[in-house]
Each structure stands twice: as structure tokens, then as C-alpha cells.
Amino acid sequence: MKHLVITVIGQDRPGLVGALSDTVYQHKGNWLGSSMSKLAGQFAGILQVDIPEDSVKPLRQAMAKLSGLNIHIAEDTQLTAPPAQLQQLTVTGNDRSGIVKEVTTRLGELGINIHKLKTDTHSAPNWGYPIFTAWFSLEIPAELAISTVQQQLESLADDLTIDFEEPESSEAH
């Protein structure tokens, strides 16, 4: 079996995920995991599949025929084991340019790998100004204390709230 990671982007439309899943199924693929979103009218997704080695080329050809989509298929040479210390982090603050850059730069400096990231901006209740929130799933080195990470992130700006919590078991895979 080959392990493939497939990224997809294109104009969102009803039936798009169905077309992707049918194409994987028709080529004897097993859909292992995915993350998909609609952003500004565009569909963006990433999925991981197992597929028989002799089906890889026909799957690539079939995916290329799906209209209006930009698709990239990469072969995963090894399945990675779940990280030893996976932590959930929520960063909240007044919306401004550069928050993601500052936080991700500091995480990188600490040797922390970002497993997942989701962001959103919304109006603050009662005040009406925009609030930015980022939800991270982080792979933190075992020798690094969460309190150190929290202190380093809080030092970035006075208006950032940094909250850590234990991950749910489904986040580990």
C-alpha cells in the first residue's frame, strides 16, 4: 500500500467532497483522515489515503480530470507516530496584523511543531471591535515545560490571552 497526502483547492460547490471520496473509492483507496474548509468561496482540503501501489497512477489521472480543482498528490514515505506530548493552545486577542506571525515564530524558536492550526475573527460582544482567536494543536518537546511556553507567548503582547488544555484523544491521530 502507498500512503498519499492529497491537497485540493478550487471553487466550492455542492458535491465536491462526494466527487473526491468517490474517486478515491473507485481506485481502491481507503480515506484515512482529512481537514477541509470553505474560505472566501474557495474549497481547501487536505486528505490522507492508503491505496494499492498499482492504483496510484490511475488515481492521479482521475483526480486531474476533476474539473475546476488544483490538486497536488504527495507520497508519504512513512506513517509518522503520534507525538509524545500533544497540547491544545488557544490564543485570543484584539485583531491586528502579525499575530499569527509572532506566535508561530516564537513557537518555532522554542522547537515546537504545529500539528494543526485554525483561526477566526469575530466581533467582541458588547464592544463591537474584532477579536482574533487561534486554536493550535502543538507537538511540544518532552523537556519543555508548558509554563515556559505560556510565559514566552504572553510576553509577545499585553492583550493576548494564552490558554493550554489537554488534547482530546481524537486529536492524537
Beta 2-11 vs 69-76: how paired, if at all? antiparallel
Is the Cβ–Cβ distance between 153 and 76 less than 8 Å? no
More confident residue, 168 or 1: 1
> What pLDDT band is residue 125 in, cutting at 50, 70 and 90?
confident
Please report, rounded to a whole number, the percentage of residues in the chain having pLDDT higher than 70. Answer: 91
Q: Report helix, strand or coil for 148.
A: helix
Q: What one-character-per-residue DSSP string does 53-69 give?
A: GGGHHHHHHHHHTSTTE
Closest CA to 77 of 164, 1, 144, 142: 1
77-117 per-position pLDDT tens digit: 765 555 557 899 999 999 999 999 999 999 999 999 998 99
Do the domains spanning 2-76 and 86-172 agree at the CATH topology level? yes
Q: Say which range, 18-22, 55-59, 67-71, 80-84, has the weakest mean pLDDT.
A: 80-84
CATH 2.70.98.10 given to domain 86-172: no
145-163 per-position pLDDT tens digit: 999 999 999 999 998 999 9
Measure CA of the first residue to CA of the last residue in the chain; give whole Å: 19
CATH 3.40.640.10 given to domain 2-76: no
Q: Report helix, strand or coil for 20.
A: helix
* Type of residue at 118: K
pTM of the model: 0.73
Distance, CA of 35 to chain centre: 6
**Structural domain boundaries of the chain?**
2-76, 86-172
